[in-house]
Amino acid sequence: MGDGEHGRLVRDIDLLTTGNRWRDLRLDATTGRLLRDRADHGDSDDARILRSARPVAATAAARALKKVPGTVRSIELDDGAADRPVWKVVIRRASGAVRGVHIAARGARLVTGHDAGDDHGRD
* 59 and 31 assigned to the same domain: no
Q: Which domain, by its residues, includes 59?
A: 54-123
Residue 48 lies in a domain: no
Domains in the chain: how many in total?
A: 2
* 24 and 78 assigned to the same domain: no
* 37 and 89 assigned to the same domain: no
Segment 98-115, tens digit of pLDDT? 999 999 888 777 787 655
Residue 20 lies in a domain: yes
Residues sharing a CB contact under 8 Å with residue 42, sequence separation 6 or more, in sequence order: 14, 16, 22
* 64 and 12 assigned to the same domain: no
* 33 and 74 assigned to the same domain: no
Among 6-10, 22-26, 65-69, name the one with the lowest average pLDDT: 6-10
DSSP H or E segment with residue 1: none
Residue 81 lies in a domain: yes
**Looking at the whole model, is its pTM more than 0.85?**
no
Rounded Cα distance between 50 and 58, Å, is 13
Residue 47 lies in a domain: no
CB 23 within 8 A of CB 41: no
Residue 49 lies in a domain: no
DSSP H or E segment with residue 101: strand 98-104
* 36 and 63 assigned to the same domain: no
SS3 label, residue 108: coil
* 24 and 72 assigned to the same domain: no
Segment 23-62, tens digit of pLDDT? 999 999 899 999 999 998 877 777 877 877 777 888 899 9
Residue 18 lies in a domain: yes
Give the Å distances, CA to CA, from 66 to 24, 29, 69, 72, 103: 30, 24, 6, 12, 12
CATH number of the CATH domain containing 89: 3.10.450.40
* 82 and 120 assigned to the same domain: yes
DSSP H or E segment with residue 110: strand 110-115
